[in-house]
Chain A
Amino acid sequence: MSIDDTPKMSWWNRLAHPGQFLAWTRPLIWPLAGVTTALYLLGLWFAFFNSPADYQMGDTVRIMYVHVPTAWLSQFVYAAMAVSALGTLVWRHPLADVSMKAAAPLGAAFTAMALFTGSMWGRPTWGTFWEWDGRMTSTLILLFIYLGIVALWRAFDDQLRAARVVAVFTLVGAVNVPIIKFSVDWWSTLHQPASVFRADGPTMPGSLLTPLFVMFFAFTLLFVTLQLLAMHTEIRRRRLVTLERRAARGDTL
Chain B
Amino acid sequence: MIALGEHAEFIFAAYAGVFVGLGLLIGWIVYDSRRVRARLETLGDKRG
B-contacting residues of A (Cβ < 8 Å)? Answer: 19, 22, 48-49, 53, 58-60, 62-63, 66-67, 70, 105-106, 109, 112-113, 116-117, 120-121, 123-124, 222, 226, 229-230, 232-233, 236-237, 239-240, 243-244, 247, 253
Contacts and interface: CB of A to CB of B under 8 A. Distances in A.
Chain B interface size band reads 20 to 34
B27 to A, nearest CB: 11
9 contacts: A48-B1, A58-B7, A121-B14, A124-B10, A226-B25, A230-B32, A236-B33, A236-B40, A237-B36
A67 B2 contact: no
A19 B3 CA distance: 52
Given A117-B17, A233-B29, A49 B1 contact: yes
Chain A interface SS verdict (over half): helix
Chain B interface SS verdict (over half): helix
Contact of B47 (A19, A49, A59, A247): A19
A116 B44 CA distance: 44
Contacts of B2: 48-49, 59
Interface in B10-36: 10-11, 13-15, 17-18, 21-22, 25-26, 29-30, 32-33, 36
A233 B32 contact: yes
A233 B30 CA distance: 9
Contacts of A123: 10
B43 A63 contact: no
Nearest to B39: A240
Interface of B: 1-8, 10-11, 13-15, 17-18, 21-22, 25-26, 29-30, 32-33, 36-37, 39-40, 43-45, 47-48
**Top-3 shortest CB links A-B:** A120-B14, A124-B7, A59-B5
B10 A222 contact: no
Given A60-B7, A243-B43, A244-B43, A66 B33 contact: no
A19 B1 CA distance: 47
B43 A240 contact: yes
A233 B36 contact: yes
A66 B18 contact: yes
A49 B7 CA distance: 17
B45 A243 contact: yes
B18 A113 contact: yes
Listed residue (A105, A106, A120, A222) with the most chain B CB atoms within 10 angstroms of its CB: A120
